[in-house]
Structure 1
């Protein structure tokens, strides 16, 4: 069972326009989840994403398009790939293996509108030994890639993330775990 861990709003800073609300859900009752009091908030978030089923729920606050979200998602994941290669957190093998799932991710989104208040649920399945993790975009399709699935969710918590309020609320929620 997934629990709501935090919510926030994505704002385009230079225009101060709220684009979408975002929620982060996770299975915090997963027996494989091992959080230690000595872990930093970022380490706890990484452990939750690495170990548990998670969901990102995006609810547009204005009419948008799937292609607009797709472009933002692809930009975020390719930036994480580039930065990971630079700082050594992503291996050459992971980068090569991520290429095909990233191409597939580009094809999942229709050229149609995503109307105001219509949720887009993005579900990260828990790890299964010997299987790549699946990242499912409700009603659109799935990709299977440990790296892409994990890094897609983690990008919401990199730096300030797309929604600083989301990251702040998640950190407060997991402090006592």
Structure 2
């Protein structure tokens, strides 16, 4: 074997080998090829292009999906409205009597009068425009429970007991942008207390008047529709006038008590948070008990729920699974906290956002019928 030292003379004596080695090491051909293959700027540019194209593609897909969703929802809403209208026409055709009329006629004096409609039992009814709950009774008889009455005693309350309440206005409660109908609601005032309602609203516009002329009615209508003034008007009326009133709720689809509770609680909480006067223990306890009251099961369509408020603001919740000729109403609970019932009432009567805009508008128009008559005459008139 040749020793390593034996190769040194050979390398030194081979200038050609040395020249080849020097050319290969310092010619730069290998480094140029590597820089071409691993050009970081070029790779970074390609990556940016890829990310940009990918973002554009995803954004286009999301936009197309959103547009298609909105279009489909709009078409679905139109289809549901058309189907509801067809159902109303079918119901009107199937009924022995013609569809409930809503038009008015004029007397010889030029005064407009509504056509009176009766159901099979002879009760005066008011059309709702809903196919599931087509009409509300013009008057209902309800015995308002006291805070001392137990549920076992109040469970025997029937529709023929108690005081008479007269319908002021009604409307449908809808949710989501699809306007899905949840329940019909009607606002009733104790017939004997309508004079209190008349007096307060008439004196608000004209302190020296006993009835309002058309221009004054327009001023009152504008005030009740205004967000701030309407809420102030109803808030003061509920606190000072002492009118007994009821919100009658009839679901148009199967639901449950927790679902109804969530709507009530959200509305009360939203209004109470705007006023520091509600941040006390008494109101917090009332809210807790009110929530617990609705820890129950389902509520089928056409069943009746009554939210009752007496002259002192006592809130009573009555429930009846049967709204036949003589429904038996169960008193679910009573609450002595006046502020709780007042905020719940304002959720339907006034503010920037109400539970049912059709109901609020109908109530305002019903109030206009009251204030155009002399104070105290509506309670005794023959409908």
TM-score, normalised to structure 1, is: 0.84
Q: Hey, what does 1:88 align to over in structure 2?
A: none
Which one of the candidate residues 279, 282, 301 is aligned to 1:95? 279
Say whether 1:10 aligns with 2:194. no
Q: Hey, what does 2:238 align to over in structure 1?
A: 49
Say whether 1:136 aligns with 2:319. no
Name whichever of 75-84 and 37-46 sits farther off. Answer: 37-46
- RMSD value, Cα: 1.9
Which one of the candidate residues 13, 19, 27 is aligned to 2:182? 19
Q: Hey, what does 1:130 align to over in structure 2?
A: none
Q: Hey, what does 1:69 align to over in structure 2?
A: 260
Say whether 1:148 aligns with 2:337. no
Q: Hey, what does 2:366 align to over in structure 1?
A: 173
Q: Hey, what does 1:105 align to over in structure 2?
A: 290
Q: Hey, what does 1:161 align to over in structure 2?
A: 354
CA distance in 2, matches of 1:117, 1:49: 29
Structure 2 gaps, min length 5: 1-163, 206-219, 225-229, 319-329, 372-383
Higher RCO (CA-CA < 8 Å; seq separation 6+)? 1
> Would you say the 8 A contact 1:49–1:154 is kept in 2?
no
> Would you say the 8 A contact 1:122–1:137 is kept in 2?
yes
Q: Give the number of equivalent residue pairs.
A: 165
Q: Which has the higher helix share?
A: 2
* Compared CA separation, residues 37 and 143, structure 1 to 2 (3 A): closer
CA distance in 1, matches of 2:279, 2:196: 27
* Compared CA separation, residues 3 and 45, structure 1 to 2 (3 A): farther
- Secondary structure of the residue aligned to 2:308 is strand
Alpha-carbon offset, residue 162 of structure 1: 1.1
Equivalence map 1:31-42=2 (5 Å): 32-33=196-197, 34-35=200-201, 36=203, 38=205, 40-41=223-224, 42=230
Q: Which has the higher strand share?
A: 1
